[in-house]
């Protein structure tokens, strides 16, 4: 007899009754079993609801509802994607760094399996500077804050055949970068 099953509920109900009933009570047992069936269903339903209210234990459509609550239509389950795979994707996106250079780089690494080249026009490490060993000609680029403020350029390598990320489409890459880019920053993406 497990907690919350029909026999457990009948025993609990009988324990609350006065002792003037004899040991053999078939009519009372039948009546209590009817009530116990309903309460047993409610107990099982509550256990199921408790399980579905947490990301780590949710399953099926409930996992899709959790993703919808956090991301709207931004993170949909792929056809034939398992619950565990989808749960991992939800966790990765909930805790994903956003609005930073490192966040864009990490996202590109996660979805393509390869490290992108990210270039910011106002960052000397990307463009170089006069009087420095890399210099403007060492990098082959000219940077400025006056003509391209709040812009960056990302060269993203497509996933290689045979890798787990292979099959990620160009539209998926653009949408993912758009989801983590800093607001009011234009990100120019080149797919290689």
| pLDDT digits 0-9 by tens, 101-160 | 999 999 898 888 899 999 887 777 777 666 666 555 555 566 666 767 788 899 999 988
Surface-to-core class of residue 152, CB atoms within 10 Å of its CB (0-12 exposed, 13-18 middle, 19+ buried):
buried
Q: How many whole angstroms separate alpha carbon 143 and alpha carbon 129?
A: 9
| pLDDT digits 0-9 by tens, 125-141 | 777 666 666 555 555 56
- Please indicate whether residue 167 or residue 87 has the higher confidence score (pLDDT): 87
What are 12's two structure tokens? 């609990």
What percent of the chain has pLDDT above 90?
24
In degrees rounded to 5, what are phi and psi of residue 43? -60, -45
In degrees rounded to 5, what are phi and psi of residue 15? -70, -20
Confirm if 154 and 84 have CB atoms less than 8 A apart: no
What are 42's two structure tokens? 């409610």
Helix (H, G, I), strand (E, B) or coil at 4: coil
Helix (H, G, I), strand (E, B) or coil at 122: coil
What are 173's two structure tokens? 């890459």
Confirm if 92 and 110 have CB atoms less than 8 A apart: yes
Q: What is the pLDDT of residue 130?
A: 65
Spell out the domain ranges in the chain: 6-52, 98-191
What's the Cα-to-Cα distance from 107 to each of 2, 123, 173, rounded to whole Å? 46, 21, 9
| pLDDT digits 0-9 by tens, 42-54 | 999 999 999 999 9
């Amino acid at each position: 007899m497990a907690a919350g099953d029909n026999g457990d509920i009948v025993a609990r109900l009988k324990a609350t009754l006065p002792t003037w009933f004899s040991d053999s009570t078939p009519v009372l047992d039948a009546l209590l079993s009817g009530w116990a069936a309903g309460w047993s269903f409610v107990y099982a339903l509550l256990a199921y609801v408790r399980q579905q209210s947490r990301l780590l234990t949710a399953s099926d459509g409930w996992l899709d509802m959790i993703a919808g609550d956090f991301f709207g239509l931004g993170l949909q389950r792929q056809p034939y994607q398992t619950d565990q795979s989808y749960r991992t994707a939800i966790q990765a996106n909930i805790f994903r760094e956003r609005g930073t250079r490192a966040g864009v780089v990490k996202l590109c690494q996660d979805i393509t399996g390869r490290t992108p080249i990210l270039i910011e026009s106002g960052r000397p490490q990307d463009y170089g500077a006069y009087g420095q060993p890399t210099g403007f000609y060492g990098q082959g680029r000219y940077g400025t804050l006056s003509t391209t403020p709040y812009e960056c350029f990302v060269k993203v390598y497509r996933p290689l055949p045979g890798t787990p990320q292979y099959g990620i489409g160009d539209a998926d890459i653009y949408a993912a970068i758009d989801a983590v880019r800093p607001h009011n920053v234009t990100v120019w993406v080149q797919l290689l």
